[in-house]
C-alpha cells in the first residue's frame, strides 16, 4: 500500500494552495493530490468551461498572492482562470503531485495513524487500490456532487436532462440544441441562459414559484463613483456594517459596537443597505418591462449571502428577455411527458433539453468510516440544544437587527422531499475547517468548505492555517485535550455556524459557511491565530478605505516561517 504524509482530495484552487503551502513549510514530506477530473482546476477545470463564462471577479482579485495573473481589465474569462491555475501548478512543481481521473470512494479513520483511502479509476471503475495518508485534506469545496431534482415523468421525457455543470460538455456550451429549458434562478442559470440566447437559441427559463426566486444580480460598478462592486466587499470600513460573530478579530470592536448595539448605529446600517438595494434595482431597471420584472429578486439584500452575481456579459441579457429570445416562467414543473415540460400555470413547453441549475449535494463526495463526529451534513450527530440556544442568545443580544427576520414565504418548499436528501444539520467545523472531534488527533481538515467573494485570499490563508494546525502550531489549540479548551472549541464552532443561520437566512447561511461582507474579518481571525500581521495597509486611513486584494497577503508563509523558525523543517 502506498503511503503519503499528506493526501489532498481536489486539485482546484484550495487543493493547489494547500499543497504549495504545505510543501513550502515541509519540503521533505510526501504529498499526493487526487482529483476525479481530467484536468486540474476544480470548478475551473478545462472540461467545465465554455467561451462566454466569466468570473464575478476583476483582474487583480482572483489570483494567489505568490503568482500574479497576467494583466487584463474587466471580469476574468473562465479559460484564463484555468490557464492561470495550470501555470501556478507548473511554477511551483505541483503537477507531479497530481493524479487525475482518480475518485476517492472511501476514507477509513485509522486514528493517530491517519486514513486508509480507497481510490477508483474514473475510466475503469473496476480498478481500485488503497492509499494510506498520515493526514487528509478534503479540498473539494461545496460544488463537487451535482444535485438533481426528482421530476415526475422523467422516464417518458425522451430528451436529455442535464445538470448545469454538464453544460460545458455540449460542444462549447450551446451544442446542437435550438430549444432549451433552464430550471433555477441561480447565477449559473443566468450564465447559461445568456450563452444560449447570445447564440440565437430560444430559451424558456423556469424559476420555481415555490423556490427562492431569482438570485440577486448587481452591476459591475456601483455608486456615483463607479466603484467595482467587489472592492466594497473587501474594504474594511464597509465590513463593519455586517453583523458577524468573528468580526471583532479585526480589532475595531468599537466601530462594530456602535453600528450594531446603538439605535443610531442600526439606523445607519439600515440606511446603508437600503441605499444598496435602491442603487442595484434602479441601475438594472427590472420594473421597466413586465418580462424583466420577473427576474427581480424576492428577498432582502441584507439577508442574502453569496447567492448573487454580477451582470458581467458582453451583451445586454435583459434585451434578450424583452425581445422574447428568453421567456421567463415563474412556475413549478409539475411533470414531464414526451419532449414536453408541464408547468403549474398550465403552460406546456416543448424542448430539446432540460438543464437543471439546481445546485449541489450538501453531503461530501467521500464516504467516511469513523466513530468520530465529522461536523458535516449526514455525518454528524445533533449538536446539544444547549449550545445552539446559548449561541442564538448571544447572537441576537449582540446584533438585535438579526432578530428582525423577514417573514416566512408560505409557499416555499424544498426540491428534496425525502429524508435521504433533506439535511437539517449544517456544517459544524472549527474555523470552518476542522471537525472539533479531530482537533486533538490533527489528521483531518477541510479546505474551501465556504462560499465567499474572497476565494483566493481565503484559500491561501486557510492553507497556511491548516499547515500550522497539522504541525500542532496553533497556540490556542495547544491544550485541546483539556475540558475547558474542548468546550470553547465546541461552542465557538456552533456560534459561528449559527451566525450564518441568522445573518444569511435567505441564503445558504443555515447550511454551510456563507459569508459576504465578512471575508476580511475571517482572514483576520486566522492570521491572528498564526501570529501573522492582519493589518497590512501601512496606515489607518488606507486600512479603512482601501480594498484588500491577494497582493496584500504576499509573503504570509514566509512571515510565519520567520516568526516560528523552530516549527518548520
pLDDT by position in tens, the chain (length 569): 999 999 999 999 999 999 999 999 999 999 999 999 999 999 999 988 877 788 888 899 999 999 999 988 888 999 999 999 999 999 999 999 999 999 999 999 999 999 999 999 999 988 999 999 999 999 998 877 788 999 999 999 999 999 988 876 665 556 688 999 999 999 989 999 999 999 999 999 999 999 999 999 988 877 666 778 889 999 999 999 999 999 999 999 999 999 999 999 999 999 999 999 998 999 999 999 999 999 999 999 999 988 889 998 999 999 999 999 999 999 999 999 999 999 999 999 999 999 998 888 777 789 999 999 999 886 666 667 789 999 999 999 999 999 999 998 888 887 754 444 445 678 999 999 999 999 999 999 999 999 999 999 999 999 999 999 999 999 999 887 788 889 999 999 999 999 999 999 998 888 899 999 999 999 999 999 999 999 999 999 999 999 999 999 999 999 999 988 765 55
C-alpha–C-alpha distance, residues 318 and 309, integer Å: 15
C-alpha–C-alpha distance, residues 175 and 195, integer Å: 11
3-state DSSP assignment of residue 376: coil
At residue 74, the pLDDT reads 85
Q: What are phi and psi of 183, to 5 degrees?
A: -115, 125
Q: Are 199 and 177 contacting, i.e. CB atoms less than 8 angstroms apart?
A: no
Asked whether the whole model's pTM tops 0.75, one would answer yes
H-helix segments, 365-482 = 385-398, 455-470
At residue 420, the pLDDT reads 47
Which string of b and e fits 445-478 if b means at least 16 CB within 10 Å? Answer: bbbbbbbbbbbbbbbbbbbbbbbbbbbebbeebe
409 CB-side CA count, 13 A: 15
CB atoms within 10 A of CB 420: 8
Domain limits of the chain?
Answer: 2-145+361-567, 154-219+252-356
C-alpha–C-alpha distance, residues 433 and 445, integer Å: 6
At residue 418, the pLDDT reads 43
Q: What are phi and psi of 390, to 5 degrees?
A: -65, -45
**Are 2-145+361-567 and 154-219+252-356 the same fold in CATH?**
yes
C-alpha–C-alpha distance, residues 225 and 103, integer Å: 48
C-alpha–C-alpha distance, residues 377 and 422, integer Å: 9
C-alpha–C-alpha distance, residues 519 and 415, integer Å: 30
Joined grid coordinates for residue 103: 475518485
Are β-strands 179-183 and 161-163 bridged in parallel, bridged antiparallel, or unpaired? unpaired
C-alpha–C-alpha distance, residues 514 and 256, integer Å: 20
Which residues, in sequence order, are bridge partners of residue 476? Answer: none
Say which DSSP state 475 is in.
Answer: G
Give the CATH number of domain 154-219+252-356. 3.50.50.60
C-alpha–C-alpha distance, residues 48 and 41, integer Å: 9
Are β-strands 444-446 and 128-138 bridged in parallel, bridged antiparallel, or unpaired? parallel
Joined grid coordinates for residue 19: 499543497
At residue 381, the pLDDT reads 64
CB-count exposure of residue 234 (10 Å: 0-12, 13-18, 19+): buried
Tell which CATH classification among 3.90.700.10, 2.40.30.10, 3.30.70.2190, 3.50.50.60 matches the domain 2-145+361-567. Answer: 3.50.50.60
C-alpha–C-alpha distance, residues 274 and 65, integer Å: 35
Amino acid at each position: 500500500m502506498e503511503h503519503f504524509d499528506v493526501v489532498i482530495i481536489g486539485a482546484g484552487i484550495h487543493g493547489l494552495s494547500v499543497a504549495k503551502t504545505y510543501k513550502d513549510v515541509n519540503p521533505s514530506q510526501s504529498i499526493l493530490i487526487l482529483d476525479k477530473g481530467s484536468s486540474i482546476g476544480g470548478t475551473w477545470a478545462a472540461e467545465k468551461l465554455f467561451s462566454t463564462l466569466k468570473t464575478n471577479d476583476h483582474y487583480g482579485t482572483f489570483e494567489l498572492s505568490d503568482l500574479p495573473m497576467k494583466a487584463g481589465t474587466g471580469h476574468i474569462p473562465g479559460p484564463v482562470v484555468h490557464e492561470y491555475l495550470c501555470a501556478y501548478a507548473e511554477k511551483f512543481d505541483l503537477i507531479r503531485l497530481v493524479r487525475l481521473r482518480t475518485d476517492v470512494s472511501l476514507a477509513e479513520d485509522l486514528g493517530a495513524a491517519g486514513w486508509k483511502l480507497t481510490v477508483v479509476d474514473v475510466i475503469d471503475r473496476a480498478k481500485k487500490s488503497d492509499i494510506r495518508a498520515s493526514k487528509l485534506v478534503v479540498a473539494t469545496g461545496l460544488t463537487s456532487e451535482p444535485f438533481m431534482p426528482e421530476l415526475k415523468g422523467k422516464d417518458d421525457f425522451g430528451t436529455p436532462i442535464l445538470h448545469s455543470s454538464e453544460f460545458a460538455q455540449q460542444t462549447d456550451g450551446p451544442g446542437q440544441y435550438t430549444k432549451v429549458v433552464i430550471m433555477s434562478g441561480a447565477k449559473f442559470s443566468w450564465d447559461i441562459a445568456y450563452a444560449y440566447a447570445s447564440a440565437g437559441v430560444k430559451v424558456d427559463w423556469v424559476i420555481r414559484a415555490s423556490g427562492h426566486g431569482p438570485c440577486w444580480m448587481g452591476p459591475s460598478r456601483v455608486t456615483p463613483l463607479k466603484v467595482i462592486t467587489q472592492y466594497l466587499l473587501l474594504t474594511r470600513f464597509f465590513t463593519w456594517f455586517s453583523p458577524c460573530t468573528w468580526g471583532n478579530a479585526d480589532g475595531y470592536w468599537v466601530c462594530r459596537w456602535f453600528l450594531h448595539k446603538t439605535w443610531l448605529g442600526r439606523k445607519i446600517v439600515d440606511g446603508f443597505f437600503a441605499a444598496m438595494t435602491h442603487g442595484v434595482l434602479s441601475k438594472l431597471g427590472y420594473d421597466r418591462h413586465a418580462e424583466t420584472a420577473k427576474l427581480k429578486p424576492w428577498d432582502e439584500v441584507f439577508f442574502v449571502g453569496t447567492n448573487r452575481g454580477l451582470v458581467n456579459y458582453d451583451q445586454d441579457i435583459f434585451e434578450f428577455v424583452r425581445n422574447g429570445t428568453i421567456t421567463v416562467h415563474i412556475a413549478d414543473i409539475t411533470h414531464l411527458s414526451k419532449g414536453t415540460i408541464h408547468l403549474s400555470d398550465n403552460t406546456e413547453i416543448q424542448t430539446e433539453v432540460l438543464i437543471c441549475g439546481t445546485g449541489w449535494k450538501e453531503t461530501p463526495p467521500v464516504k467516511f468510516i469513523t466513530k468520530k463526529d465529522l461536523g458535516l451534513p449526514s455525518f454528524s450527530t445533533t449538536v446539544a440544544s444547549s449550545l445552539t440556544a446559548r449561541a442564538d442568545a448571544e447572537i441576537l443580544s449582540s446584533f438585535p437587527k438579526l432578530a428582525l427576520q423577514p417573514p416566512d414565504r408560505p409557499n416555499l418548499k424544498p426540491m428534496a422531499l425525502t429524508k435521504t436528501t433533506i439535511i437539517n444539520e449544517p456544517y459544524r467545523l472549527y474555523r470552518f475547517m476542522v471537525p472539533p472531534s479531530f482537533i486533538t488527533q490533527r489528521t483531518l481538515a477541510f479546505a474551501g468548505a465556504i462560499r465567499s467573494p474572497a476565494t483566493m485570499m481565503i484559500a491561501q490563508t486557510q492553507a497556511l492555517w491548516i499547515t500550522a494546525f497539522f504541525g500542532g502550531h496553533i497556540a490556542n489549540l495547544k491544550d485541546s485535550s483539556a475540558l475547558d479548551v474542548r468546550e470553547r472549541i465546541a461552542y465557538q464552532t456552533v456560534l459561528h455556524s449559527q451566525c450564518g443561520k441568522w445573518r444569511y437566512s435567505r441564503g445558504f447561511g443555515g447550511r454551510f459557511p456563507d459569508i459576504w461582507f465578512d471575508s476580511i474579518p475571517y482572514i483576520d481571525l486566522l492570521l491572528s491565530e498564526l501570529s501573522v500581521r492582519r493589518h497590512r495597509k501601512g496606515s489607518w486611513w488606507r486600512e479603512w478605505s482601501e480594498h484588500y486584494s491577494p497582493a496584500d497577503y504576499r509573503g504570509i508563509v514566509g512571515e510565519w516561517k520567520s516568526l516560528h523558525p523552530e516549527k518548520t523543517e
